[in-house]
Copies of this chain bind each other. A is one copy, B any other.
Amino acid sequence: MMFGKTTKFLVAATVIAGLTTAALAKEKVYKWKLATTWGPTLSPFIDAPKNMAKMVEEMSNGRLLIRVDASNKHKAAFGILDMVKGGQYDMGHSASYYWKGKDINTLPFTTMPFGMTAPEQYAWFYYGGGLDLMQKVYKKHKVLSFPGGNTGNQMGGWFRKEIKSLDDLKGLKMRIPGFAGEIMNKLGMTVTNIPSGELYTSLERGTIDALEWVGPGMDIKMGFHKVAPYYYTGWHEPGTELQFLVNQRKFNKLPDDLKAILVTAIRVSAYDMYAQNYAMSANAWAKMGKDYPNIKVKTFPKEVMDAMKRTNKELLVEKTKGQPLLKEILDSQSAFQKKAREWTKMSDYLYLKDNLE
C-alpha cells in the first residue's frame, strides 16, 4: 500500500535534477461544512450527505473533509440555499422546492404532481437535459445543484378522518410542500411547510389536521398513525429528488481531481438513497399491517383525484404566465415524461400488471 488512510501525509520518492531523496509531502487539506434540512438521525435523508462525505474522504485520501451539520446545529432547516449562497456553508443538502417562494424556477427539480417516477426522472436529469436546466436555474444564485437522492413514489399523507368527498378537504390545515401544496390550497385547504422534527407535535396538537411526509419507511417511525390513521396512496410526489448544493466559488478553488471526486460521490450517494429508501419502504410496508392494524390505507375518491388533476393543469397554465424559464423546465419535463411513460407502460407497468404477487 502506498499510503495509509490514517495519515494526511504523503510519503513519496522524489527525483529532482537527478537527486533521489525521500520527501514528506504535506498536501493541502480542504475542510468544508455542509448544512442539511434534516435532523441528525433522519435516515435515509441524512445518510445521503454522510455517505457522500465518507466517500469523498476515502477517495481523496483525506484531502477533502466535509462536516455534515444536521438542522439542530444551524437552526435553519429551510435556509439551506441562503447559507450556501452566502458562503456560511460550502455545501447543502435539502429539497429544491422548499424555496419556491424565493425562486419559483427551483420548484420542479424536486418532483411535480402527476409527474415522472424516479427511473423516468433520472433518465431526464442525466440523459434528457434536466441537469443542465437545474444548473441554469441555480447559476444566478452562484450555486451548483445536483440530484441528492430519490424517495421513490411518496404516499399521499396522513389524515385524521376519511376523505370521502372534495368537501371533506375544505378548511383542513395540511403540511404539504411544492406544487402539490398549491393544488391543495386551490382546493380549499390551508397549506404550510414544517420541519421534520416538529411534524408529529404539530399533528398531535392540532396545529395541522393532516400531513404528507414520505412513505412507510420514514413515516411509521414518526408515529403519525397514532393521531391520523387514514393513510392515503400517492399522486403528488411520484419521484421526489433531494438536492445537493455547492457554493460555486468554493468549488472553483478545488483542484480538478477533487472536483471529480466530489461530483461522483454526490451522484452515487443520490442513487444509493433511492435504493435505500426502496428497501426501507418495502420492509416497513411488510410489517405495517401486522404491527399497526389501526392504519387504514385508502386511495382518494375519484371526485377528489379528478379535481386534483384538473387543478394541476389550471395551475400549470396560471403559474407559467410571464415565467419563460419555468415554462421551459416544465415543457422539458412533460415532453420527456410523455415519451418515457409510453415506454414505462410497455415495460415495467405491463410486467407488474401480470406479476403483482
| Partner-B contacts on A (CB < 8 A) | 1-5, 10, 12-16, 21, 23-28, 55, 58-61, 114, 117-120, 122-128, 152-155, 215-216, 233-235, 238, 255-257, 260-261, 264-265, 267-268, 271-272, 274-276, 278-283, 285-286, 297, 299, 305, 336, 338-357
Contact of A153 among B58, B280, B281, B351 (CB under 8 A): B351
Residues of B within 8 A of A286 (CB): 338-339, 342-343
The reply to whether B356 and A2 contact each other, CB–CB distance below 8 Å, is no
The reply to whether A278 and B356 contact each other, CB–CB distance below 8 Å, is no
Given contacts A257-B5, A346-B297, contact A24 B28 (CB under 8 A): no
Copies of chain A in the complex: 2
Q: How far is the CA of A233 from the CA of B350 in the complex (A)?
A: 8
Q: How far is the CA of A357 from the CA of B342 in the complex (A)?
A: 7
Contact of A346 among B14, B233, B235, B355 (CB under 8 A): B233
Cβ of A55 to closest chain B Cβ, rounded Å: 6
Cβ of A9 to closest chain B Cβ, rounded Å: 9
Q: Can you list 21 A-B pairs with a CB-CB distance of less than 8 A?
A: A15-B24, A15-B26, A55-B260, A58-B257, A58-B260, A59-B261, A117-B348, A122-B274, A152-B347, A153-B347, A153-B348, A233-B350, A233-B351, A234-B347, A238-B351, A264-B265, A268-B268, A285-B342, A286-B339, A341-B352, A348-B352
Cβ of A149 to closest chain B Cβ, rounded Å: 12
The reply to whether B25 and A10 contact each other, CB–CB distance below 8 Å, is yes
Given known contacts A123-B275, A124-B279, what 8 new A-B pairs fall within 8 Å (CB)?
Answer: A5-B256, A14-B24, A233-B347, A238-B355, A286-B343, A341-B355, A345-B352, A349-B356
The reply to whether A281 and B347 contact each other, CB–CB distance below 8 Å, is yes
Residue of B at shortest CB range from A275?
Answer: B122
Residue of B at shortest CB range from A20?
Answer: B26
The reply to whether B343 and A61 contact each other, CB–CB distance below 8 Å, is no
Residues of B within 8 A of A119 (CB): 118-119, 152, 274-275, 278
Residue of B at shortest CB range from A283?
Answer: B339
Residue of B at shortest CB range from A300?
Answer: B354
Residue of B at shortest CB range from A349?
Answer: B352
Residue of B at shortest CB range from A270?
Answer: B271
Contact of A344 among B24, B123, B352 (CB under 8 A): B352
Cβ of A317 to closest chain B Cβ, rounded Å: 18
Cβ of A179 to closest chain B Cβ, rounded Å: 15
The reply to whether B350 and A299 contact each other, CB–CB distance below 8 Å, is yes
Q: How far is the CA of A125 from the CA of B271 in the complex (A)?
A: 13
Q: How far is the CA of A13 from the CA of B286 in the complex (A)?
A: 57
Q: How far is the CA of A343 from the CA of B286 in the complex (A)?
A: 8
Q: How far is the CA of A12 from the CA of B25 in the complex (A)?
A: 6
The 10 closest A-B pairs by CB, nearest first: A127-B279, A153-B347, A12-B25, A58-B260, A123-B278, A2-B255, A61-B257, A271-B271, A123-B279, A268-B268
Residues of B within 8 A of A281 (CB): 343, 347
Q: How far is the CA of A126 from the CA of B282 in the complex (A)?
A: 14
Q: How far is the CA of A128 from the CA of B28 in the complex (A)?
A: 39
Q: How far is the CA of A298 from the CA of B355 in the complex (A)?
A: 18
The reply to whether A23 and B16 contact each other, CB–CB distance below 8 Å, is yes
Contact of A12 among B16, B26, B355 (CB under 8 A): B26
Contact of A267 among B261, B268, B342 (CB under 8 A): B268
